[in-house]
Structure 1
Amino acid sequence: MRSSYRNVAIYLIIGLLAGAVIGYLVETQVSSGKIKDLQNQIDSISTEIPRGNIVQKGSDTLLIVAQRWAEEYMNKHSAVSISVAGGGSGVGFSALAQKTTDIADASREIKSSEIQTAKSNGVNPVEWVVGLDGIAIVVNKGNPITEMTMEQLEKIYNGTYTNWKQVGGNDATIITYGRQSTSGTYDFFREHVLHNKNFRADNRELAGNAEIVNSVMGDVNGIGYVGVAYTKKGVNVKIVRIKSAADATAYEPSVENIKSGTYPIARKLYIYTNGVPTGTLADYVAFILGPEGQQILEEVGYISYIKVDK
């Protein structure tokens, strides 16, 4: 096994002891012994060739980076086949509980009810933080709006504001786009923007981030929320700067602003496994957490949460 993979496990232990929350067992106090287990699993296959099948399913936000992780890992290990699918964080957690996926990708933390469902099926979800993301608020390029407050955003999505002129825009009906309820992005937005209140009745729920971007591109009165990586590579929408309050500075979801915490709609990204992974799965998780996996994460447009020596 490449030394860089083992260094990842060692780094996790050091970070844990320093108080950095990088990977931990859900519902239990994290212990260095559990993280040490991952290092032991990696060391145990140091002379073996990774082989077998891995299923990775869940968050649509993580889908584009998960596909890149899988592709790069399979390029390095021809005896490994990795199947990647989206569907939403909830879909991933359900699949993990049903033992139909090896990794659940998630853009939110697992819920206590999902933990109980998993445990009732003999599954022990283990959480690994793999990156940081900002929720980008996007409007059509023809919309004159350039910034708004968190309160204005809340009122747009809860139905209090229905016309763009109420937030300084054109006299036109606001059309909101968002994710389906199985999405971790939906849950995060509902909790952190709507304060766990309901979305407006006419909110248009779509299956993925790309669908939201495409809808806003074609709707001059549309607004949507997506993972920041879906605004990269020449996507023809306008990103709205967000202010925490009316008298605050408006920030865009840049790497610097997400890292510093000044952008108000930022979150962690996760993968979950059933217990501490073993064998080839342990190697793949170490790859994701290691220099190569984190470089891919940043190339896609997300932000590395794990700092390792390159």
Structure 2
Amino acid sequence: MVRDLTYVTCPKCGHDRNPNTATNCEICGQRLKGGGIPPIAWIALAVLLLGGAGYYFWQNRPGEAPAPVASTPAPPASTAPAQPATTPGLEQVKSPFVKLFATMAEVENVPSGLFNYGGSTTFAPLRSRTVLGAIAQAHPNFKLRYAEPVSGKPGSGTGIAMLIAGEMSFAQSSRAVKSKEYAAAKERGIALEQVPVAIDGLAFFVNPANSVAGLSVDQIVGLFTGKITNWKQVGGPDRPVVPFSRNLQAGGTVDYFNEEVLGGAGLGKVVRETRDTTDALRKVAATPGGVGYATASEVIGQRSVRPVPLARSNSREYVAPFAEDSQVNRTAFRDGTYPVTRRLFVVIRRDGRLDEQAGAAYANLLLSGEGQQLVEKSGFVAIR
């Protein structure tokens, strides 16, 4: 993509959409060397230098002795960092936005205004009054409004689509941004950047009467694709398996489950559809052979079902999703010994506008020391 020459790249955060007339970076506030010089001044300088060079060569054309000329000082070298010869894939670009602070109040460059956000339902605990209240106390003029989709169900995919369409300032996603979403954004002349802010895991649960000791990932696949039809096949009671799940179009959690656990195989015909996690919990609690799954923070403290420890494929080294204090198993989630974990992302719309600044500020608020404490109190695992 050809860059507009009227923009200046920030040497501190790498933001490459600062107007050439800007004296400070729009994102991080860094002083821009050479900023504030209007484009016409650069054009005039180029004409002057080219004219001087032309006069020099005319004076020193072949066959004549060189004419004495006044020495012309070389123009100053550019202070902007050199651009790479090729642009790496957006998934591999290191975020220039992340800057770690101790408290939310210390986070810099938080814009004023009302900003729409939303997307993944997994983020619901981070949209609580406690979290939003802490943000509002630290930055009263940074106002957030959750945006419901006009049509369809809320979810990671819906939120990213709304972000691309300009209906949100930033989005929340419980899965990584897909290649087709990067491409859709590029068609609109923008880029997407995902910043991880928390670690989550999927918790699988059964009816309390089910005595199965644990499940391996390959057994989970069998249960939800219809290859395992009776609990006695996995060490449980002689009872038919009744799996529950939301529709594959529901959003990030189901999409992640299909792609990362089922390997894209899709849900089997035996799976019974539920409206949401609350519906799944109720139906598994009422069905002796029932099994369901949800983000771990939604299953904590649920006494109507029994969370099942998980092991990697073809293993019986089970790891529980929750610790004895009824909190998520932070150590196992963080070091990856619990086999089904994922990162939660803030998706930023990189267009050089105020929405980009808002998304960067929100990500840094959650990544602050205070923000990470709220992440853990919300049932997730801190990423830093």
Q: Determine if the TM-score, normalized by the shorter chain, exceeds 0.5.
A: yes
How much does 1:121 deviate? 2.2
Q: Hey, what does 1:64 align to over in structure 2?
A: 125
Post-superposition CA distance 1:243-274 (Å, at most 9, x none): 11444411112211111211111111111010
How much does 1:139 deviate? 0.9
Q: Hey, what does 1:237 align to over in structure 2?
A: 305
Aligned ranges 1:41-80 → 2 under 5 Å: 43-44=108-109, 51-67=112-128, 68-80=130-142
The answer to whether the 8 Å contact 1:56/1:82 transfers is yes
State the alpha-carbon separation in 1 of the partners of residues 248 and 227 from structure 2.
21
State the alpha-carbon separation in 2 of the partners of residues 293 and 227 from structure 1.
20
Which AA in structure 2 matches 1:259?
R
Describe the shift of the 1:36–1:217 C-alpha distance in structure 2 as closer, same or farther (beyond 3 A). Answer: closer
State the alpha-carbon separation in 2 of the partners of residues 170 and 119 from structure 1.
53
Which AA in structure 2 matches 1:301?
G
The answer to whether the 8 Å contact 1:106/1:184 transfers is yes
Which AA in structure 1 matches 2:90?
E
Deviates more, 1:270-279 or 1:95-104: 270-279
Which AA in structure 1 matches 2:169?
D
Quick check: 1:215 aligned with 2:290?
Answer: no
State the alpha-carbon separation in 2 of the partners of residues 117 and 164 from structure 1.
44
State the alpha-carbon separation in 1 of the partners of residues 133 and 275 from structure 2.
23
How much does 1:132 deviate? 0.7
Describe the shift of the 1:280–1:98 C-alpha distance in structure 2 as closer, same or farther (beyond 3 A). Answer: closer
State the alpha-carbon separation in 2 of the partners of residues 280 and 200 from structure 1.
41
State the alpha-carbon separation in 2 of the partners of residues 197 and 156 from structure 1.
12
Q: Hey, what does 1:299 align to over in structure 2?
A: 377
Describe the shift of the 1:74–1:255 C-alpha distance in structure 2 as closer, same or farther (beyond 3 A). Answer: same
Post-superposition CA distance 1:178-235 (Å, at most 9, x none): 2332311112211222111121113233343333223323333211111111122444
Quick check: 1:187 aligned with 2:255?
Answer: yes
Which AA in structure 2 matches 1:238?
R
State the alpha-carbon separation in 2 of the partners of residues 234 and 97 from structure 1.
37
The answer to whether the 8 Å contact 1:26/1:127 transfers is no
State the alpha-carbon separation in 1 of the partners of residues 98 and 206 from structure 2.
46
The answer to whether the 8 Å contact 2:297/2:379 transfers is yes
RMSD: 2.7
Deviates more, 1:113-122 or 1:208-217: 208-217
Q: Hey, what does 1:289 align to over in structure 2?
A: 367
The answer to whether the 8 Å contact 1:57/1:95 transfers is no
How much does 1:31 deviate? 4.8
- Greater C-alpha Rg: 2
| Identity over aligned pairs, percent | 27
How much does 1:26 deviate? 6.3
Describe the shift of the 1:82–1:237 C-alpha distance in structure 2 as closer, same or farther (beyond 3 A). Answer: same
Describe the shift of the 1:287–1:226 C-alpha distance in structure 2 as closer, same or farther (beyond 3 A). Answer: same
How much does 1:169 deviate? 2.1
Deviates more, 1:212-221 or 1:51-60: 212-221
Quick check: 1:178 aligned with 2:245?
Answer: yes
Partner SS for 2:114: strand
Q: Hey, what does 2:339 align to over in structure 1?
A: 264
Describe the shift of the 1:110–1:169 C-alpha distance in structure 2 as closer, same or farther (beyond 3 A). Answer: same
2:212 to 116, 134, 145: 145
Give the TM-score of the pair, scaled to structure 1.
0.79
Describe the shift of the 1:121–1:210 C-alpha distance in structure 2 as closer, same or farther (beyond 3 A). Answer: farther
Q: Which has the higher strand share?
A: 1
For structure 2, the 5+ residue unaligned runs are: 1-27, 29-87, 102-106, 322-328
State the alpha-carbon separation in 1 of the partners of residues 182 and 338 from structure 2.
30
Aligned ranges 1:87-102 → 2 under 5 Å: 87-102=154-169
Describe the shift of the 1:298–1:197 C-alpha distance in structure 2 as closer, same or farther (beyond 3 A). Answer: same
How much does 1:57 deviate? 1.2
Which AA in structure 1 matches 2:373?
Q
Quick check: 1:122 aligned with 2:189?
Answer: yes
State the alpha-carbon separation in 1 of the partners of residues 318 and 246 from structure 2.
24
State the alpha-carbon separation in 2 of the partners of residues 109 and 145 from structure 1.
32
Describe the shift of the 1:71–1:122 C-alpha distance in structure 2 as closer, same or farther (beyond 3 A). Answer: farther
Describe the shift of the 1:185–1:92 C-alpha distance in structure 2 as closer, same or farther (beyond 3 A). Answer: same
The answer to whether the 8 Å contact 1:242/1:252 transfers is yes
State the alpha-carbon separation in 2 of the partners of residues 83 and 284 from structure 1.
13
Which AA in structure 1 matches 2:258?
R
How much does 1:146 deviate? 2.7
How much does 1:279 deviate? 4.8
State the alpha-carbon separation in 1 of the partners of residues 291 and 92 from structure 2.
41
State the alpha-carbon separation in 1 of the partners of residues 370 and 99 from structure 2.
22
State the alpha-carbon separation in 1 of the partners of residues 221 and 360 from structure 2.
41
1:202 to 270, 281, 297: 270
1:164 to 231, 234, 248: 231
Quick check: 1:81 aligned with 2:127?
Answer: no
How much does 1:90 deviate? 0.8
Partner SS for 1:57: strand
Describe the shift of the 1:184–1:83 C-alpha distance in structure 2 as closer, same or farther (beyond 3 A). Answer: same
Describe the shift of the 1:107–1:28 C-alpha distance in structure 2 as closer, same or farther (beyond 3 A). Answer: closer
Partner SS for 2:97: helix
